[in-house]
Homo-oligomer: A and B are copies of this chain.
Amino acid sequence: MNLSRLSLLLLCCFVWSAARAEDIQSPNKQLTLSVNLQSDGVPTYSLSYKGRPVLKTSKLGLDLKGTTSLTSGFSQTAAERRTADESWQPVWGEVKTIRNHYNELAVTLTQTATKRVMRVRFRLFDDGLGFRYEFPRQPELAYFVVKEERTQFALNGDQKAFWLPGDYDTQEYSTVTSNLSEVRGKMKAATTPNASQTPFSGTGLQTPLMLKSKDGLYINIHEAALIDYSAMHLELDDKNFVLESHLTPDALGDKGYLQTPCQSPWRTVIVSDQAADILESKLVLNLNEPTKFKDTSWIKPVKYVGVWWEMITGKSTWSYTNQENIKLDSIDYKTVKPNGTHAANTAHVKEYIDFASKHGFDAVLVEGWNTGWEDWFGKHKDYVFDFVTPYPDFDVQELQRYAASKNVRMMMHHETSGSARNYERHLDTAFQFMNKYGYTSVKTGYVGDVLPRGEHHYSQWLINHYNYVLEQAAEHKIMVNGHEAVRPTGLSRTFPNLIGNEAARGTEYEAFGGNNADHTTILPFTRLIGGPMDYTPGIFETKVSKLNPSNTSFVHSTLARQLALYVTMYSPLQMAADLPEHYNQHLDAFQFIKDVAVDWDDTHVLEAEPGDYVTIARKAKGKNSWFIGSSCDEQGRTSTIKLDFLESGKKYVATIYADDKDAHYEKNPQAYTIRKLNVTRKSKLAQYCAPGGGYAISVVEAGK
Could you tell me if A143 and B379 are in contact, using CB atoms closer than 8 angstroms?
yes
For residues 304 through 333 of chain A, which have their beta carbon under 8 Å from a beta carbon of chain B?
A: 324-325, 327
| A 534-589 contacts with B by CB, 8 A | none
Residues of A459-478 at the interface with B, using a CB-CB cut-off of 8 Å, are 461, 464, 468
This chain's copy number in the assembly? 2
Q: Which of B428, B454, B461 meets A252, CB within 8 Å? A: B454
The number of chain A residues touching the other chain, given as a range, is 20 to 34
How far, in angstroms, from A326 to B259 measured CA to CA in the complex? 9
Instruction: Tell me the bound Cα distance from A464 to B453 in angstroms.
Output: 14
Q: How far is the CB of A599 from chain B (nearest CB, A)?
A: 32
A454 CB contact (under 8 Å) in B257, B380, B454 = B454
A375 within 8 A of B: yes
Q: Indicate whether A452 reaches chain B with its CB closer than 8 angstroms.
A: yes
Cβ-defined contact, B375 with A142, below 8 A: yes
Residues of B within 8 A of A145 (CB): 380
Q: Is the CB of B143 within 8 A of A381?
A: yes
Partner of A424, one of B251, B425, B453, B461: B425
Q: Chain A, 399-432, contact with B by CB distance < 8 Å: what is the 0/1 string?
A: 0000000000000000000000100110010000
In the bound assembly, the distance between CA atoms of A260 and B325 in angstroms comes to 8
A182 on the B face (CB < 8 A)? no
Query: Contact partner of A327 among B259, B375, B455, CB < 8 A?
Result: B259
For A259, what are the chain B residues with a Cβ–Cβ distance below 8 Å? 325, 327, 379, 381
For A461, list chain B residues within 8 Å (CB): 452-453
Chain B residues near A421 (CB-CB < 8 A): 421, 424
The smallest beta-carbon distance between A377 and chain B, in angstroms, is 11
Selected from B250, B260, B327, B382, the residue in CB contact (under 8 A) with A453 is B250
| A257/B382 contact (C-beta < 8 A), A421-B424, A455-B452 known | yes
Q: Does A137 contact B (CB under 8 A)?
A: yes
**CB-defined interface of A426-455 with B at 8 Å, one 1/0 digit per residue?**
001000000000000000000000001111
- In this complex, the member of A260, A452, A461, A468 whose beta carbon has the largest number of chain B beta carbons within 10 angstroms is A452
Tell me, rounded to whole Å, the shortest Cβ–Cβ distance linking A67 to chain B: 14
> Is there an interface contact between B250 and A454, defined as CB atoms closer than 8 Å?
yes
A129-175 interface (Cβ within 8 A of B): 137, 142-143, 145
Contact check, B428 vs A142: say whether CB atoms are below 8 A apart: no
Q: Is A254 an interface residue (CB 8 A)?
A: yes
Question: 4 shortest A-B CB distances, which residue pairs?
Answer: A251-B454, A251-B251, A452-B452, A142-B325
Give chain A's interface residues, CB within 8 Å of chain B: 137, 142-143, 145, 250-252, 254, 257, 259-260, 324-325, 327, 375, 379-382, 421, 424-425, 428, 452-455, 461, 464, 468
